[in-house]
Chains A and B, each alone.
Chain A
Amino acid sequence: MIEVLEIILRLALWLLVAPLLPGLINKVKAWVAGRRGPPVLQLYYDLARLWKKSVVMSTLASPAFIAGPAVAWVALLGAALLLPLGPLGGAVSFKGDVLLVVYLLAVARFCTTWAAMETGSAFEGMGAAREVSYAVLSEAALITAILSLSVQSGSVTLNDMLAPSSGAGAVLLAGGLFAVLLAENCRVPFDDPNTHLELTMIHEVMVLDHSGPPLAVVLHGAAMKLLLFSVLLSEAVLPLAQWSTWQASTALAGAVTAVTIGVGLVESLLARFAFSRVPLLLTTAFLLCLFALLLAWKGGAA
């Protein structure tokens, strides 16, 4: 009984906190630009409004156009439940759960791109093609980061992998994972979440045709993915296991906020890269993770 309650609380935490992050990012951007900006809770209002709206669906689309966002959202939620929350650990934890998380992210990508292709629009096709192509490189970086964490901790269970700090390689790993976070969540410099109508878009262009509740689910899922990567990055770097529960929780919350503000700052200070430079940046992220792996390897051997 108590476990069920815990899972429900955990779900509520993820669901409720996630939309805060894009709001925070927008606030930071507005602050840097000297504007007042939309309220931090803007996404909550948007979601509530979208949830009540009716749906327009392309004449070409199959029912999977609505099923796709739903499955993607559930997959992200599942990944969120597996990810440990600092001292709390994951809702479920077993050997190899980290791979399930990685593949649940892939499920979300599969469903989002599939739904995007439903419309037959060339724009959405472009977005989907970019999404799956850049995922190839960010997947390499992500799996290398996971290798590095698991070599560092000697375990392939998320709870144990994320408890200690990643040691000497923490800086490298932080850099690599931050780049992966930006790429996977389609933020500047990989993508510009503010423009909706350009040929250069990735995520936003894939969801052009969604409306009403499915769009709400898509937006909420994107926010949750951002939170997921921020938590992963924070836990990979911080030595949470050394601290008491309260310290660790505060540190985690602080780190997630810091990451979010970092995203906002990057977005204010950098321009989107030309598409030809994106592979270079992701390769750099991969190499950072690779060198973190080497450091973890050497650190453990000594």
Chain B
Amino acid sequence: MSELANLLIGLAMGLNLLALGSSRLPSVIRTVAVQGMALGLLPLVLETRFDWLVALVAVITLLVKGVMIPTLLRRAMRTANIDREMQPVIGFVPSLLLGAAGTIAAVAAARALPLLPEHADTLLVPGALALVFTGFVLLVGRVKAISQVCGYLILENGIYLFGMLLIGSTPLLVESGILLDLTVGIFVIGIIVDRIQRAFDSLDTRKLTVLRE
């Protein structure tokens, strides 16, 4: 049971590095989508007995994270006519190394935390920490709005993974609410990306500083 869960979380942690290391936006989006789907399967794996509600949440998560959000992002990317992160604030090799260091630190830190015995030997907590850290690096280190959205999604995946610790006690409503927020958020960002592109002829978020007055 926990073997399979660890495999999924390990996969998500590996995808982190892929997201950090690739410069093409489509592959970053795909990476984030696969990561979201892998984590969406997690509730099914973690529950020992089959539960309709959990299954429903899983299916919705899969749909939203694996299909809907990537589609929205791809469309935003197409309208903005941009598919590459050219000059990131933190280069690709440094962000890869940073991500790896963060992952190792997450594993080490999780060992130091006082966890419940059933969570101690799973990758849940280190995985969540690593995902949050990776999302953070992407948010800080990239300049294109779409990469930053991807960073935000990875961050959210990390928080979702933390939520798995409490899977028994989180109401369904909260889960779906988060998902809804996320979808709306991405939808809005898609529109904004389009507007930024029209206004500035670029998606470089550093240029937004001229709006401060």
Contact = CB atoms under 8 A, between A and B. Distances in A.
B17 A294 contact: no
Number of chain B interface residues as a range: 10 to 19
B131 to A, nearest CB: 16
Contact of B104 (A279, A283, A294): A294
Contacts of A290: 100, 104
Nearest to A281: B21
Contacts, number: 22
Interface in B81-100: 92-93, 96-97, 100
Contacts of A287: 17, 96-97, 100
- Secondary structure of the B side of the interface? helix
B17 A284 contact: yes
Contact of A284 (B96, B104, B107): B96
A283 B17 CA distance: 11
A209 B103 CA distance: 47
A270 to B, nearest CB: 15
B138 to A, nearest CB: 16
Contacts of B17: 284, 287
A279 B23 CA distance: 14
A291 B96 CA distance: 13
A205 to B, nearest CB: 25
A291 B97 CA distance: 12
A280 B92 contact: yes
Interface string A255-295: 00000000000000000000000011001100100110010
Contacts of B92: 280
Contacts of A279: 93
A42 to B, nearest CB: 37
Interface of B: 17, 21, 92-93, 96-97, 100, 103-104, 107
Interface of A: 279-280, 283-284, 287, 290-291, 294
Given A283-B21, A284-B17, A287-B17, 16 more contacts: A279-B93, A280-B21, A280-B92, A280-B93, A280-B96, A283-B96, A284-B96, A287-B96, A287-B97, A287-B100, A290-B100, A290-B104, A291-B100, A291-B103, A294-B104, A294-B107
Nearest 8 pairs of A and B residues by beta carbon? A287-B100, A283-B93, A280-B92, A283-B96, A279-B93, A280-B93, A280-B21, A284-B21
